[in-house]
Amino acid sequence: MRRKRSAAARVVQGTVVRRVDRYWRALLSTVAAVGLVLGALISLPGAAQAAGSLPCDIYGSAGTPCVAAHSTVRALISSYNGPLYQVTRASDGATANIGLLSQGGYADAGQQDAFCGNSTCAITKIYDQTSRHNDLTPGPAGTSGMGADRGADASELSVTAGGHKVYGIWISPGVGYRSSGAASGVAVNGQAEGAYMVASGTHVGSACCFDYGNAESTPADTGNGHMDAVSIATTCYFAPCTGSGPWVEADMENGMFQGDNGSNTANTGNNSTYVTAMLKNNGQTTYALKGGNSQTGGLRTQWAGALPTRGGYRPMHQEGGIILGTGGDNSNWNMGTFFEGVMVTGYPTDAAENAVQANIVSVGYSGETDVPNGPQGTITGPGGQCVDVAADDTGVNRAAVQLWNCQSYAEDQYWTHHANGSLSTIGRCLDIIGNGTANGTQVELWDCNGVGGQVWNQRADGSLFNPQSGRCLDSPNGATANGTRLRIWDCNGSAAQRFTLH
């Protein structure tokens, strides 16, 4: 069952640049922690970050180098000037790499806008910015019973970072990414590691699993302690929990842990528009969770203490795979929005983590994160209901197209009307079953292929007219109940055939 959520955006502008006199410059050469914090504070939104000031620079200077760095928003290493992600165009299968406006800077969203044009694009690769090439691609089917993952709609959510338009990764059920096997340099068999991600605190759910971090090398649950991923979700796996979340949690396989053996009532959650979620684990006895508002302020420690005493977690048994948006066995039922994240080897210092949070705040993230705001819009029909795809954003071929209560975060209620007359959502088109023309033929979702049964022309009376059949999109007998299956019928100008594209 879907639940509507709201968001409030707050713009944080800039950071304070302080003069450093000779005394402090001399001290900085020997006191690394102070250098880390000041390095993060001298970055300004709207420009490439200063050398040594980005998250992987900070972690590396503290002796915990990045082994993976992923973002569709910005460089996470000051020397990086390569691609951030790859998009694939639905109309012809062509691909394009989306890079940076400048070295160490922000994504060139204009590249994506120009390439995707009147088609839709999916994010089909997220490049690792480290030299290890731990790239992420849509994951294979796993033992959870779910099929292979699809890539996220590339234009689903745009926000502002560093004063520039950028795109986040909108995760819906069925969307997810994974490394191929064990990733290079990622912790295994009880080695220490850390990770963070910047994600939405308003586009969240309670299903399994919106994770980023270490997972099995194959998409299967291989036992307790074989995962070590950070999550933000409304999942209260070990009761009691405080409030309704979302909470920053650790997915260590077979449990979403907030502290010690699971429950931790001191974790009060974080529902800010942007959330910094951090996890570190020494692999043997101890782990910590931290959360913060990515737009302002510092980090709050949610847990710093013992690993679970349940069997399998002391020591950990990580396998070194990397996941984004799913669980280790490819459980991909949850939702979330991802902007950036890294994984490091070793147990990060508090000073390094504080400096990373200061750098994140300096980015000036702004914009809502729970409402799709790309070129698509909703289609409302009889009773003010939305045109919706059955099965909650999974969008497979033959999925029923129906009426349902409008919900701001429901990806499959946002449609793009293309120049060729087609209407698409989650990478597929509104289609008449069997390319049929007879009265009463139902509509469904199907791969966009340019056939006549996928052409819909909006007419002055509000109807959506299909020229091939000579009939209109229709709600049987004007029904408005959730789950009403849509069809084609002789055009008659009734309320049952009035649809508004927003």
Which residues are annotated as catalytic?
Answer: 253, 329
Q: Which of 297, 109, 335 is nearest to 209 (CA)?
A: 335
Question: In the chain, how many H helices and how many E strands?
Answer: 5, 31
Q: Which residues pair with 136 in a beta bridge?
A: 126
Residue type, 85: Y
Asked whether 375 and 412 are in contact (CB, 8 A), the reply is no
E strands present in 346-456? 379-380, 386-389, 401-404, 416-417, 423-425, 428-432, 443-446
Helix axis angle, 32-41 to 350-362, nearest 10°:
10
Asked whether 486 and 443 are in contact (CB, 8 A), the reply is yes
The pair of three-digit structure tokens given for residue 107, joined into one six-digit string: 């994504």
How far is Cα of residue 190 from the mean position of the Cα atoms in its chain? 28
SS3 493: coil
- What's the CA dihedral at 486, 490, 493, 498 to 10 degrees? 20
How far is Cα of residue 429 from the mean position of the Cα atoms in its chain? 23
Q: Which residue has the tokens 């504070």?
A: 41
Looking only at the bridges linking them, the beta strands covering 256-257 and 177-178 are unpaired
SS3 471: strand
- CA–CA distances in Å: residue 394 to residues 56, 146, 330, 388: 34, 10, 14, 12
SS3 439: coil
SS3 109: helix
Task: Give the contacts of 423 (CB within 8 A, at least 6 positions apart).
Answer: 379, 415, 416, 417, 429, 430, 454, 456, 464
